[in-house]
Amino acid sequence: MTLDEAWRILQEKQFKRTKNRDTILQFFSENDRYLTALEVKNFMEEDNPGISFDTIYRNLSTFSDLGILEETDLNGDRHFRMQCDPGVHHHHFICTACGKTRSISHCPMEMITVNLPDYEVEGHKFEIYGKCPLCVAK
């Protein structure tokens, strides 16, 4: 997702363009990995020392609800990243050390639904966790 696409979505939903939203989206667009709210707060405190976690979480939740950010749970913490390939069904390998991701185009649901013949699956999320080659080498 580009910054222009993100702002188009926000404007369609009547959200104002603010400095905080702009800074958060810019930070995510420059980091192709999952980030925590603490990482966002630490980055934002350089220019806005009084920013609260409430402001950050409220914006992260809004961006996630609108499909601008993807969200996952790593080690008990919510992590976010800019939505990649909106509208394209895919899954991720997520590095537990650095947060970088790699898209996986094959969907395992085809094999799983064979074992659920009388069930109606409404959605799914498939993620693989481990270390990327750079983190393994460290």
The stretch 68-96 carries a mean pLDDT of 84
**What total number of domains does the chain contain?**
2
What average pLDDT does the chain have? Answer: 89
Continuous H helices in the chain: 3-12, 19-30, 37-44, 53-65, 109-112, 133-137
pLDDT, position 73: 86
111-121 residue pLDDT tens: 888 888 888 88
Assess whether 96 and 52 both reside in one domain. Answer: no
Q: Domain containing 18: what range?
A: 3-82
26-36 residue pLDDT tens: 999 999 889 99
Assess whether 42 and 15 both reside in one domain. Answer: yes
pLDDT, position 6: 95
Q: How far apart are CA 121 and CA 65, in angstroms?
A: 21
CATH code: domain of residue 31? 1.10.10.10
